[in-house]
Amino acid sequence: MEKRCKELVRKAYRSRMKDISRVWSLHRRDPDACDSELGTWEEYGLSFDYVPKDTFTGQKRGYFRYQLSWGGPSEEFRFYVDETLDIEKVEFWYLDWFDGAKVVVGGRALQTWREIWEEFREIDLLRSKMREAQG
């Protein structure tokens, strides 16, 4: 019997955060640094976008999405922010056909995401992605 997403999400989350921490740490020291397995920070992941409210049935608020993989299964981080674009909550989602589970990001991982978020803010990526999604 195949495992459900709720049985797989924590292992996937730990693995992805290990990778992200690795490439982010390299990037902070040298923006052109490349990990032999993971590539550069800019190459890691599939996309970063904004998902406006009501994009999906029952979706009550918009969020930023850092998509790492798609299909079955897919993995993504969702960033919920306030009106000043400060992070309120980060979730890691593990999704497979008609199934999904999440982990709320905390501790050291949340601190890593706050660092990354500040870089996104500095290069105006956040407002740019919101305009792109709503325009």
Retrieve residue 23's tokens.
Answer: 């490439």
Strand partners, 75: 69, 94
pLDDT class of 127 with cuts at 50, 70, 90: very high
What per-residue confidence (pLDDT) applies to 16?
Answer: 97
* pLDDT (average), residues 43-69: 95
How is the chain split into domains, by residue range? Answer: 5-134
What per-residue confidence (pLDDT) applies to 35?
Answer: 96
What whole-number distance in Å separates Cα of residue 92 and Cα of residue 24? 17
What per-residue confidence (pLDDT) applies to 73?
Answer: 92
* pLDDT averaged over every residue in the chain: 95
Looking at the whole model, is its pTM more than 0.75?
Answer: yes
